[in-house]
Structure 1
Amino acid sequence: MTQTILLVEDEPKLAALLTDYLQAADFRVRWLADGLAVVPAVREAPPDLLLLDLMLPGRNGLDVCRELRGFTDVPVIMVTARVDEIDRLLGLETGADDYICKPFSPREVVARVKAVLRRARSDPRARGLLIDDARRQATLDGRLLDLTPVEYRLLAALAEHPGRVLSRDQLMNHLYEDYRVVTDRTVDSHVKNLRRKLEQVAPDTELIRSIYGVGYCLEI
């Protein structure tokens, strides 16, 4: 069944280019250029995914995404022209499922769309990952992971929002129960150790994806 992408972009040439690539990948594309039109369009005919530019005439993508999350879980990929803007978006927890920064390759956009749609249809258990919060244990493909308490909390935080990017600041809040102050490098160090333990069970599989300068997400 053909899936529908609602593309919200006020640059006609860029919208046309993305439409061509998405259609070539067998997606149906609807295009809007005004932020005010997005919510009514989603209510009338919900798409399978929303590709939403941050800066739009009428209403910005941040406000649009917040209102959408009040009545729908449709996957949203937010598009911004500034890398440093992604940190702010994550800090505000807009509810977007992924973020892409301009300039980008249209092929990358198609790949990210496919990845988000794939994640929307699954959950961490589809990759054999089970989080046992009562025992504070995690298993992957039936094998118990030998995790430290901090690594367990880090993995549990990522698994709670599979496919969604969590900033380092957000992850810091989950690392230590005594809320001690830690740095970005502390988070990166724990992620590195956690990845190594996951790879021991699932070699050649990148379960935790890095978003340069922003944070991490759990791929499923």
Structure 2
Amino acid sequence: MKFSYNLSKLFGFPILAIQFLIIHSVSSLNLTNEYLNHKCFLDQGIYNSGSDYEDKLNTLLRNVRIANYDLTGFLRASRGHAPYSVTIMFQCRGDSYGSKCNTCGDKAVAGFRRKCPKIKGGIIWYDQCFLWVSEIGEEMPLNTNYKNMFSMYNPNNVRGDAKLFAKRAVDFFSELTLKVEKNTKISVILYAAGEKKLGKNTLYAMVQCVELTIDCKSCLTWSITKLFKNGDIKQGGRVLGSNCDQYMVA
């Protein structure tokens, strides 16, 4: 099942995803490595060919492509010392570990080089993963900092009572958020997904936070409100970034 999305910029720190889809069954989901969006950190400047920065960046991006993602689809690595360091963070969707994650990693590395050539930092999102690169010699911010969030929507409206659907969908997202919160005590994989019958629609929803995020629940709770803003209730949508994600199809 493939959807045509329209991007709309929102205020917010980049989150990994909240997503929803209206489907016949979870098995009907189409997992692709489709490019979604990117942002180049132009304020970090550019690097020269053959420079020390390029050498460090190449090493880190090579690690993204060869890492073992069988147990967790997450990688964070740095080379050098501040202020001359490079840091990368890569994470796959909670249902895309192993070879699927490696394949998306290949896409993300190639896409970052193409979209942000010679730029020291940036973020790129694909359907099953995202890649974050920065010259800043410090840990990626662990607390949600709402700057670069963006949303995507299916163009079709839901069938039946749209307002009731939105209310029940938000309740379902809250249930999934609680599951993620419990997982933080026993697992580094901050991910939950499920499906629920809502009137004439079957809802598939997914929530996920980046492994390093401290305030996962706050990030997800805030981003859920962006799915149905202005009463615009569609059959599918995402809120994405680099701290948490939500995704749904109905």
- Give the alignment's TM-score, normalised by structure 2: 0.28
Q: Whose relative contact order is higher, 1 or 2, with alpha carbons under 8 Å and at least 6 apart?
A: 2
